[in-house]
Chains A and B, each alone.
Chain A
Amino acid sequence: MDAKTLQARLLELIRRTSCEMPPDMIRAVDKAWRREKKDTTAKYAMGVMRDNIKLAATLSQPLCQDTGTIVCYVDRPDWIRERVFTTAFERAVVEATRKGYLRQNSVDSITGKNSGNNLGPGSPVIHFHETAGKAMTVRIMLKGGGSENVSTQYALPDNRLGAGRDLEGVRKCVLDAVHLAQGKGCGPGILGVCVGGDRATGYVSAKEQFFRDLDDKNEDEVLSKLEQSLLADANSLGIGPMGFGGGTTLLGVKLTARNRVPASFYVTVAYMCWAYRRNGFKISENGRVGRWLYN
């Protein structure tokens, strides 16, 4: 595959991610809409979300104007070098920005100047992992600022919450984070939570949970149970879609755990908005897209 072909495939991946909700999320939004009571602002809000999902796909325009931080994960086989991929991806990002699939979203933190093309130090974010497989897997996530701003990290023990260094303490942190977020993260949200790790890997691992299928089951029995009980508890808070009140505060909770040093016990809560933009594909060396993920 030549550089142009790769760039075109990546542009299509960005377009789809920005404009089309993945099927697992469409099902979750529909289910929540059916669940909310008639003639409530919660039902109204969920209805607007459903209309928006359809409209964005039809018009091939961004689901949300905040096209977020561009995060890309690559499982890289031998046939492609990081440098080659990075160049192709950056060109695809520039093109996607020009076409309006991405907003001009990269701002110099010192001067305040917008680069205008989404390139700059730290943007886009690309993580490479070597794979022994033949196909390259590329996943991207567009994470908006509203949801990023309500993401948070706790260090246990937490005196304010009375949260100790155990799973009950973890549970208290997660529910507190949902309460603090109210509607500001564009709920109903999806949480990615990392128990343990250091401050940096906590956030990385928490965000990586968003690449899981919304309907999957955690392989760890303990975490799986906690995911389910946290989802039920969070929905009993009554914050509802957009913070309007209602039964749907979250659409999913995904947990993972990382080892920690004895002195630290972090609980990191990453919040993703309902306009859950992530997608991915497997692509072969000759440029054929074999499979879209999350279908």
Chain B
Amino acid sequence: MLLEAPFTEAKVRALRVGDVVEITGLLLTGRDAVHKYLHDGGTPPVELKNSIIYHCGPVVVKEKGKWVVKAAGPTTSIREEPYQGPLMEQYGIRGVIGKGGMGPKTLAACKKVGACYFHAVGGAAQVLAQKVVRVPAVHMLEEFGSPEAIWEFEVVKFPVVVTMDSHGDSLHAKVEAASSKALDRLIR
């Protein structure tokens, strides 16, 4: 199914765990440095209301004066678990794209704010980079370095799976619980 900008609460509330979604609109990359900066009270250099944050440290090079994305898969999201929930609530962030899933704090914020966690296929840097049609701007490049900067990615049909929804469901919690039982059978 499609999710197109503007990313409204109603559109995101309609999504459920297991949905394969293609996103069209603007994504903002943000990972460790950005999350810590915002959580410490730093001023966001871009509007975050109704935004989708992409946990990604891309390879971007300048060709003929234009930014070109050479690789842009997701990074592990759980590192942002201490920051993500509070930032979602403070700024009205509508979704997060990453890999590996996030914990109970983020899941609770998704429910409260009306947001989703979207899982991109980790390591699929080329399939995902192909969906970035334009890089309108970059922020905090000098301060944080290229992988940690806030890149604006205009994407078309960016493929993700909803693994945490705004109704309290988490695929990660389910798989963890089931595999935990299976492990017990194998080693206890």
Interface residues of A, dominant DSSP: loop
- Structural contact, B183 and A65, CB atoms closer than 8 A: no
- B 98-129 binary contact with A (CB < 8 Å = 1; else 0): 01110000000000000000010111111101
A59 surroundings in chain B (CB, below 8 A): 126
- Structural contact, B101 and A52, CB atoms closer than 8 A: no
B29 to chain A, nearest CB (A): 10
Q: Does B76 contact A (CB under 8 A)?
A: yes
Q: With A and B bound together, what is the CA distance between A250 and B65 in angstroms?
A: 43
A56 surroundings in chain B (CB, below 8 A): 125-126
Range of interface residues on chain A? 35 or more
Q: Does B179 contact A (CB under 8 A)?
A: yes
**Please, how many residues of chain B have a CB less than 8 angstroms from a CB on the other chain?**
48
A145 surroundings in chain B (CB, below 8 A): 75-76
Q: Does B140 contact A (CB under 8 A)?
A: no
Interchain CB contact (< 8 A) of B119 among A100, A163, A242: A242
Q: Which residue of B lies closest to A18 (CB)?
A: B71
Q: With A and B bound together, what is the CA distance between A244 and B160 in angstroms?
A: 12
Q: Does A193 contact B (CB under 8 A)?
A: no
- Structural contact, A100 and B61, CB atoms closer than 8 A: yes
Q: Does A248 contact B (CB under 8 A)?
A: no
- Structural contact, B100 and A44, CB atoms closer than 8 A: no
Q: With A and B bound together, what is the CA distance between A116 and B60 in angstroms?
A: 12
B8 surroundings in chain A (CB, below 8 A): none
Q: With A and B bound together, what is the CA distance between A123 and B71 in angstroms?
A: 21
13 A-B pairs with C-beta separation under 8 A: A44-B161, A52-B121, A55-B126, A56-B126, A61-B59, A61-B70, A62-B125, A103-B59, A103-B146, A114-B147, A182-B179, A183-B172, A244-B171
